[in-house]
């Protein structure tokens, strides 16, 4: 698995780097002024792997960082991470050869890794579809809930009315009886009878309505229960959201304080721990409730369609299976992350070789101990572990140590060219010692002591120059990383060799080249000696958006667009490049690189014949093989350029190389002509070519370029002669036939795109 | 009779005791004629591309320096007639070369231009015959008329090397002129052939032909038939069915020639193109 690109958002000075590709040859160089944000880029990559951040990395708006990385994987590898995926997801994963992961942080600085990119878009689409489905039902539930409330109210009203009617009936009925018994006038009795009948009728009506309502309610008991449960869950969810917002606000306040280096008055570790625990709890609870509400919503939906309780439950299972993937972005992300390269950062404190280090500190990998990492690298390189030092025979131990010292020194000499004091070269040496009785608790405990010797003297690493110490430590780091386990490694190095002599810095580059087939390296530098001018496709320029304002956001510029970088940013390149403008290149117009002088003359002739006004400068390479070098020079000088490539072996080779290194995704830089155009001269019709270039009447049945090659004719001379005749007025556009002109127009059409889109 | 003059010509050659008898030679010529005929387009191909057609193909000898040609590409089809310098054996060799070159060129061109086909033909002929236009070298060449049709379109491309195209509509003949240069070395310098876009209707009758018929001597005063008469003949017969056209043309030729020797190979290729194939 190989890192191919990264994107960092909201990290220190970085708002959004956008996707930046690392160099395909595994060595990527970040150049830029001080305070441009180069180190932030390295640290951003490192935290992708480690997951650990502090308030220091937060921007002033306290937005939380996100770091995304793309990795090249074998097609179908992702399937192994999701064996039980549904058919659609399986199909997607089987076709994907790029893994995109994003690490994101929460307010409590915990982080998760999720898949992003294509896979995440697919999972999002499922999620969206699920949400849309639920939203539809949700609005119906709210309507239903209102209806149910209405029914309940009506039920209550009707019940009350019935009670009142029954009471009235009883009263009126009693009075009537009494009046009947004790005599009453005939008309009063009739009136009362009418009233009583009226009440009875009304009672009957109300009772009927009540019965209907009750039947309806009973028939929808399941739905009513479900809707009530839904309302309850919704209420709980709202409450949890409210609490979570309050806790998040407290966390933000704390971040704010910490970024301003102000401890809150009530600062107490235990209180903050409680708040963070509460934050986790509330998040989990919210996740759980969200799931419950979704299921309950789906259930209500099916009940509203008339399904029974049991049927609805079954359908909920089915629909959940249809819309919800077994795998979430986080599940897949976590599974894939286990296989990603290890990102390791070379920094001074842990990585520089110490004078001595206790064995138990090496074993404990205590990062608070100075030089522990360098010591571990040393042990790894020497292929030693703690048990080695338990060797009972001191003679074997000493001899083994002596042999190791010689081996390590010999290997190191391959890379360290610089001599100390002329002829002598340094030697690496380590020794196993034990603390004497005067060291109290440590008495008798073993420690390793490191020496850097030459014929003159034996000195501790700290007694040597910083440059020597750095180089040696760096060498150990690289070599140990190269031995590393199964996982590939991305090594991040900030300003390698800043203390080294120029030649030693060049040795650092050699070291990078040596291990680049096993380790991907991303490093920052100011030094021109650490930039290979023949491989400027490795360079990413880092600068501030507003270069006069060091507080503005960091941006990254890729190699092909280096012309947009400031001169200060490009200093390391410019200082080795010299002045470009004496070589006929233009900084005002785009430059069009062609493979050789013959092509230059032919193309110039066509430009004149076609009368096209094109604003670019034609630059001939010495041959197609030198096109990549010329591209490097253009990049180094920050010049705009394109390359004109025809369908022949040399041009194709140059185009393939530059396409995979320099141009990468910028395929517009190369203007390619396919068969039957194998060279610029093939744009002329055969007849025009015969008449005006080679001046022959013999039949030509092959391409013009093939004819020149087969007959071993002096191409550059013939092309130059043609151009000269046109310039002198000996030939004009009217002397060329419609086939030539049609091809010229096609060429002009393609070349007109140069310079557009700037 | 085809070949009778050939017999006369060869008599002198075979008066000695050559072990190759005239009979053998004639037999091989006849066989060569059969081979050449097999290279001509099959009727099935013709009917797939042409609504109606006839070909009056009358070689002077057993083998002909004339040829007629059709080719079906993916998005086009081509109809042509060629007249190679000379007749008999040399002419037939050139005609075979011409057919081969046409095949080669058209097979590589998804959307050919008629004039560019002739340009390419010329390169191939001059290369094959090692012609460089130097005085004194053999000036063999091919005259040709070539049409390219696009299915679904009532426009076609025409390019001619010394051979025109006649189109007859409602008895009126329209001539599409050719470039006055052959497929071969030009007297001074080769120029590109021109491409003409010609519109036509469903009932238009197309004619491609060699100059054998117009140049045939005969008639009461032993003169050439000439183009004026030839045009009138075609204008008259264009309304007939193809089979009748062929019969009338061949009878007219035979009548005109009478007992005179046939001067050259004769080809008259009449057709109505298909729009939808």
d(CA A89, CA B248): 75
pLDDT at residue number B123: 96
Backbone angles phi, psi at A416, to 5 degrees: -100, 105
| 3 state DSSP class of B71 | strand
- With 90 as the cut, is the pLDDT of residue A84 above it? no
CB A350 within 8 A of CB A368: no
Q: Report the residue from A685, A687, A701 with minimal CB separation from B127.
A: A701
How close, in Å, is residue B193 to chain A by CA atoms? 10
Structure tokens at A106: 């929460």
- Contact flag B131-A685 (C-beta cutoff 8 Å): no
Q: Report the residue from A697, A701, A739 with minimal CB separation from B190.
A: A697
| Range B138-167 average pLDDT | 95
| Range A125-150 average pLDDT | 86
Instruction: List CB contacts (< 8 A) between A701 and chain B.
Output: 120, 123-124, 127
Q: Report the residue from B113, B127, B189 with minimal CB separation from A698.
A: B127
Closest chain A CA to residue B104: A701
Residues of chain A with pLDDT > 90, as a percent, come to 22
- Contact flag A686-B119 (C-beta cutoff 8 Å): yes
- In chain B, what is the straight-line distance between the N-terminal and C-terminal CA atoms, in Å? 39
* DSSP assignment string, A473-499: HHHHHHHHHHH--SS-EEEEESSTTTT
Which sequence spans correspond to the domains of chain B? 32-273
Structure tokens at B14: 């075979």
Instruction: List CB contacts (< 8 A) between B195 and chain A.
Output: 738
Instruction: List CB contacts (< 8 A) between B185 and chain A.
Output: 697
* DSSP assignment string, A351-416: HS--SEEEHHHHHHT-TTSTTHHHHHHHHHHTT--GGGGG-S-HHHHHHHHHHHHHHHHHHHHTT-
pLDDT at residue number A674: 84
- With 50 as the cut, is the pLDDT of residue A421 above it? no
The DSSP element (H or E) to which B69 belongs, if any, is: strand B66-72
Closest chain A CA to residue B131: A698
Structure tokens at A243: 């609490």
Q: Report the residue from B113, B126, B192 with minimal CB separation from A698.
A: B126
CB A447 within 8 A of CB A357: yes
A492-502 tens-digit pLDDT? 998 887 767 77
Chain A with chain B: Cβ pairs closer than 8 A: 46
| Range B193-200 average pLDDT | 96
How close, in Å, is residue B134 to chain A by CA atoms? 9
B33-67 tens-digit pLDDT? 888 888 899 999 999 999 999 999 999 888 889 99
pLDDT at residue number A422: 41
Q: Which long-range contacts (CB under 8 A, 24 or more apart) does A709-717 make?
A: A715/A598, A715/A681, A716/A596, A716/A597, A716/A598, A716/A601
A692-733 tens-digit pLDDT? 999 999 999 999 999 999 998 888 888 988 998 898 889 999
Instruction: List CB contacts (< 8 A) between B119 and chain A.
Output: 685-687, 739
**Cα B43 from chain centroid?**
17
- A451 vs B18 pLDDT, higher one: A451
- With 60 as the cut, is the pLDDT of residue A308 above it? yes
Q: Return the closest-CA partner of residue B149 out of B204, B101, B199.
A: B199
- Contact flag B123-A685 (C-beta cutoff 8 Å): no
- Contact flag B123-A686 (C-beta cutoff 8 Å): yes
Q: Which of B102, B126, B181, B197 to mutate to test the interface with A (most CBs of A within 10 A)?
A: B126
- Contact flag A687-B130 (C-beta cutoff 8 Å): no
d(CA B83, CA B116): 19
A95-119 tens-digit pLDDT? 888 899 999 998 888 899 999 888 8
Instruction: List CB contacts (< 8 A) between A737 and chain B.
Output: 192
| 3 state DSSP class of B145 | strand
Q: Where does residue B20 rank: exposed (0-12), middle (13-18), buried (19+ CB within 10 A)?
A: exposed
How close, in Å, is residue B107 to chain A by CA atoms? 15
A442 pLDDT tier (thresholds 50, 70, 90): confident
- A398 vs B266 pLDDT, higher one: B266
d(CA A265, CA A272): 13
- With 80 as the cut, is the pLDDT of residue B13 above it? no
- With 70 as the cut, is the pLDDT of residue A334 above it? yes
CB atoms within 10 A of CB A25: 15
d(CA A455, CA A421): 9
Instruction: List CB contacts (< 8 A) between B126 and chain A.
Output: 697-699
d(CA A32, CA A569): 4
Across A343-357, A368-382, A481-495, B112-126, the highest mean pLDDT is recorded for B112-126
Burial A518-556 (b: 16+ CB within 10 A, else e): ebbbbbbbbbbbbbbbebbbbbbbbbbeeeeeeeebbbb
How close, in Å, is residue A687 to chain B by CA atoms? 7
Instruction: List CB contacts (< 8 A) between A698 and chain B.
Output: 126-127, 130-132
| Range A336-348 average pLDDT | 86
d(CA B33, CA B266): 15
Instruction: List CB contacts (< 8 A) between A687 and chain B.
Output: 119, 190-192
CB A476 within 8 A of CB A353: yes
How close, in Å, is residue B130 to chain A by CA atoms? 7
- Contact flag B127-A686 (C-beta cutoff 8 Å): no
Q: Which of A690, A697, A699 to mutate to test the interface with B (most CBs of B within 10 A)?
A: A699
A418 pLDDT tier (thresholds 50, 70, 90): very low
Residues of chain B with pLDDT > 70, as a percent, come to 92
pLDDT at residue number A667: 65
How close, in Å, is residue B73 to chain A by CA atoms? 19
| Range A638-659 average pLDDT | 87
Q: Which residues pair with B156 in a beta bridge?
A: B149, B198
Residue whose tokens read 């600085």: A109
Q: Report the residue from A691, A699, A739 with minimal CB separation from B126.
A: A699
A371-417 tens-digit pLDDT? 888 888 887 777 777 677 666 667 777 888 888 888 888 877 776 65
Q: Report the residue from B131, B191, B195 with minimal CB separation from A699.
A: B131
- Contact flag B125-A738 (C-beta cutoff 8 Å): no
- Contact flag A739-B116 (C-beta cutoff 8 Å): yes
How close, in Å, is residue B183 to chain A by CA atoms? 11
- With 90 as the cut, is the pLDDT of residue A641 above it? no
pLDDT at residue number A420: 38
d(CA A107, CA B50): 80
d(CA A648, CA A675): 9
Instruction: List CB contacts (< 8 A) between B127 and chain A.
Output: 698-701
| Range A609-616 average pLDDT | 84
Q: Please report how many Cα atoms fall inside a 13 Å half-sphere around the Cα of residue A77, on the Cβ side.
A: 14
How close, in Å, is residue A685 to chain B by CA atoms? 9
Q: At what angle do helices A394-413 and A466-483 cross, to 10 degrees?
A: 100
pLDDT at residue number A510: 78
- With 70 as the cut, is the pLDDT of residue A270 above it? yes
- Contact flag A698-B131 (C-beta cutoff 8 Å): yes
Instruction: List CB contacts (< 8 A) between B133 and chain A.
Output: 697
- With 70 as the cut, is the pLDDT of residue A202 above it? yes
pLDDT at residue number A423: 47
- With 70 as the cut, is the pLDDT of residue A634 above it? yes
CB A476 within 8 A of CB A487: no
DSSP A689: I
- With 70 as the cut, is the pLDDT of residue B19 above it? no
pLDDT at residue number A428: 84
Closest chain A CA to residue B112: A739
d(CA A376, CA A201): 98
Strand order from edge to edge, sheet including B165-169: B50-58, B266-273, B205-209, B165-169, B172-176
pLDDT at residue number A587: 67
> Cβ contacts of residue B3 below 8 Å, gap of 6+?
B26, B29, B30, B61, B62
Any idea which of A296-300, A345-349, A579-583 has the lowest mean pLDDT? A579-583
- A180 vs B79 pLDDT, higher one: B79
Instruction: List CB contacts (< 8 A) between B132 and chain A.
Output: 696-698
A517 pLDDT tier (thresholds 50, 70, 90): confident
How close, in Å, is residue A737 to chain B by CA atoms? 7
- Contact flag B127-A738 (C-beta cutoff 8 Å): no
- With 60 as the cut, is the pLDDT of residue B108 above it? yes
- With 80 as the cut, is the pLDDT of residue B124 above it? yes
Pairing of strands A641-645, A670-672: parallel
A419 pLDDT tier (thresholds 50, 70, 90): very low
Look up the ipTM and state it.
Answer: 0.83
- Contact flag A697-B189 (C-beta cutoff 8 Å): yes
Any idea which of A516-520, B194-198, B251-255 has the lowest mean pLDDT? A516-520
Instruction: List CB contacts (< 8 A) between B140 and chain A.
Output: none
- A123 vs A388 pLDDT, higher one: A123
Pairing of strands A446-453, A458-459: antiparallel
Backbone angles phi, psi at A693, to 5 degrees: -105, -65
| Range B159-186 average pLDDT | 96
Q: Which residues pair with B224 in a beta bridge?
A: B217
Any idea which of A43-47, A548-552, A660-664 has the lowest mean pLDDT? A548-552
Instruction: List CB contacts (< 8 A) between B113 and chain A.
Output: 739
Residues in chain B whose beta carbon is closer than 8 A to a beta carbon of chain A?
A: 113, 116, 119-120, 122-133, 185, 189-192, 195
Q: Report the residue from A699, A737, A739 with minimal CB separation from B125.
A: A699
A617 pLDDT tier (thresholds 50, 70, 90): confident
Closest chain A CA to residue B119: A687
- Contact flag B123-A699 (C-beta cutoff 8 Å): yes
- A547 vs A307 pLDDT, higher one: A307
B239 pLDDT tier (thresholds 50, 70, 90): very high
Query: Mean pLDDT over all residues of chain A?
Result: 82
The CATH architecture of the domain made up of B32-273 is: 4-Layer Sandwich (3.60)
- Contact flag A701-B124 (C-beta cutoff 8 Å): yes
- Contact flag B119-A698 (C-beta cutoff 8 Å): no
Q: Report the residue from B124, B125, B190 with minimal CB separation from A687.
A: B190
Backbone angles phi, psi at B41, to 5 degrees: -65, 145
Residue whose tokens read 């009925």: A173
d(CA A106, CA A248): 10
| Range A443-471 average pLDDT | 82
């Amino acid at each position: 698995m190989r890192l191919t690109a990264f994107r960092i958002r909201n990290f220190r000075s970085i708002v959004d780097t956008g996707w930046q590709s690392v160099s395909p040859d595994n060595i990527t160089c970040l150049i830029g002024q001080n305070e441009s944000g180069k180190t932030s880029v390295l640290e951003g990559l490192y935290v992708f792997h480690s997951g650990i951040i502090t308030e220091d990395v937060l921007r002033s708006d306290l937005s939380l960082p996100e770091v995304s990385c793309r990795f090249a994987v074998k097609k179908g590898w992702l399937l192994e991470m999701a064996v039980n995926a549904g058919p659609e997801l399986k199909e997607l994963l089987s076709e994907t050869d790029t893994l995109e992961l994003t690490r994101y942080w929460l307010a409590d600085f915990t982080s998760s890794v999720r898949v992003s990119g294509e896979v995440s878009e697919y999972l999002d689409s499922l999620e969206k579809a699920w949400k849309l489905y639920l939203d539809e039902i949700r609005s119906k539930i709210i309507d239903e809930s209102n209806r149910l409330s209405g029914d309940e109210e009506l039920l209550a009203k009707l019940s009350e009315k019935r009670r009142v009617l029954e009471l009235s009936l009883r009263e009126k009925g009693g009075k009537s009886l009494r009046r009947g018994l004790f005599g009453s006038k005939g008309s009063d009795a009739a009136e009362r009878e009418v009233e009583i009948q009226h009440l009875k009728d009304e009672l009957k009506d109300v009772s009927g309505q009540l019965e209907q309502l009750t039947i309806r309610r009973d028939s929808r008991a399941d739905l009513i229960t479900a809707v009530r449960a839904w309302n309850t869950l919704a209420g709980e969810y709202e409450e949890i959201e409210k609490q979570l917002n309050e806790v998040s606000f407290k966390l933000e306040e704390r971040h704010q304080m910490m970024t301003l280096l102000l401890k809150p008055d009530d600062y107490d570790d235990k209180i903050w721990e409680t708040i963070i625990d509460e934050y986790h709890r509330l998040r989990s609870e919210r996740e759980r409730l969200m799931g419950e509400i979704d299921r309950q919503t789906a259930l209500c939906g099916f009940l509203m369609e008339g399904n029974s309780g049991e049927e609805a439950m079954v359908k909920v299972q089915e629909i959940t299976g249809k819309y919800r993937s077994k795998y979430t972005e986080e599940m897949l992300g976590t599974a894939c992350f286990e296989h990603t390269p290890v990102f390791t950062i070379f920094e001074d404190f842990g990585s520089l070789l110490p004078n001595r280090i206790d064995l138990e500190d090496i074993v404990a990998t205590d990062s608070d101990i100075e030089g522990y990492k360098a010591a571990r690298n040393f042990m790894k390189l020497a292929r030693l572990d703690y048990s080695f030092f338990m060797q009972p025979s001191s003679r074997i131990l000493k001899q083994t140590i002596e042999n190791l010292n010689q081996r390590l020194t010999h290997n190191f000499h391959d890379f360290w060219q610089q001599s100390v004091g002329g002829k002598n070269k340094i030697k690496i040496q380590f020794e196993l010692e034990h603390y004497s009785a005067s060291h109290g608790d440590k008495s008798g405990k073993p420690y390793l002591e490191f020496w850097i010797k030459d014929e003159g003297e034996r000195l501790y690493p700290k007694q040597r120059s910083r440059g020597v110490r750095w180089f040696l430590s760096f060498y150990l780091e690289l070599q140990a990383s190269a031995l590393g386990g199964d996982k590939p490694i991305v090594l991040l190095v900030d300003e390698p060799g800043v203390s080294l002599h120029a030649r030693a810095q060049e040795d650092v580059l050699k070291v990078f080249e040596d291990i680049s087939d096993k380790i991907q390296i991303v490093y920052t530098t100011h030094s021109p000696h650490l930039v290979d001018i023949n491989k400027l496709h490795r360079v990413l320029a880092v600068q501030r958006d507003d270069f006069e304002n060091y507080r503005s956001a960091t941006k990254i510029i890729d190699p092909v667009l280096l012309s947009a970088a400031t001169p200060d940013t490009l200093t390391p390149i410019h200082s080795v490049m010299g002045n470009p403008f004496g070589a006929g290149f233009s900084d005002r117009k785009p430059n069009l690189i062609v493979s050789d002088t013959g092509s230059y003359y032919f193309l110039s002739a066509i430009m004149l014949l076609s009368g096209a006004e094109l604003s670019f400068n034609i630059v001939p390479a010495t041959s197609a093989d030198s096109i990549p070098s010329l591209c490097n020079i253009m990049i180094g000088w920050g010049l705009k350029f394109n390359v004109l490539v025809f369908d022949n072996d040399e041009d194709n080779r140059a185009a393939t190389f530059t396409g995979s290194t320099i141009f990468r995704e910028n395929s517009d830089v190369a203007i390619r002509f396919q068969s039957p155009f194998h060279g610029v001269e093939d744009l002329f019709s055969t007849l025009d070519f015969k008449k005006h270039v080679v001046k022959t009447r013999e039949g030509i049945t092959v391409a013009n370029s093939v004819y020149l090659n087969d007959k071993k004719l002096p191409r550059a001379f013939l092309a130059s002669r043609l151009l000269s005749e046109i310039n002198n007025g000996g030939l004009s556009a009217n002397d060329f036939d419609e086939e030539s002109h049609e091809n010229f127009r096609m060429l002009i059409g393609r070349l007109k795109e140069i310079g557009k889109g700037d | 009779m085809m070949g009778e003059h050939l017999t006369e010509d060869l008599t002198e050659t075979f008066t000695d005791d050559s072990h190759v008898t005239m009979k053998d030679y004639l037999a091989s010529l006849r066989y060569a004629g059969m081979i050449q005929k097999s290279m001509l387009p099959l009727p099935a191909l013709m009917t797939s591309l042409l609504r109606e057609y006839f070909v009056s193909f009358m070689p002077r000898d057993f083998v002909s320096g004339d040829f007629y040609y059709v080719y079906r590409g993916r998005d086009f089809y081509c109809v042509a007639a060629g007249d190679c310098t000379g007749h008999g054996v040399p002419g037939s060799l050139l005609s075979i070369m011409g057919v081969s070159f046409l095949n080669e060129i058209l097979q590589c061109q998804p959307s050919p231009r008629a004039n560019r086909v002739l340009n390419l033909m010329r390169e191939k002929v001059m290369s094959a015959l090692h012609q460089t236009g130097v005085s004194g070298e053999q000036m063999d060449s091919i005259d040709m008329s070539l049409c390219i049709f696009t299915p679904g379109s009532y426009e076609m491309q025409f390019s001619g090397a010394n051979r025109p195209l006649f189109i007859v509509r409602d008895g009126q003949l329209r001539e599409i002129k050719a470039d006055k240069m052959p497929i071969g070395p030009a007297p001074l310098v080769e120029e590109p052939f021109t491409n003409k876009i010609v519109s036509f209707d469903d009932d238009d009758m197309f004619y491609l032909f060699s100059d054998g018929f117009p140049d045939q001597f005969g008639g009461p005063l032993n003169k050439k038939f000439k183009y004026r008469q030839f045009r009138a003949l075609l204008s008259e017969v264009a309304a007939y069915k193809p089979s009748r056209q062929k019969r009338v043309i061949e009878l007219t030729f035979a009548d005109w020639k009478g007992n005179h020797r046939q001067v050259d190979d004769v080809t008259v290729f009449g057709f109505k193109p298909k729009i939808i194939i």
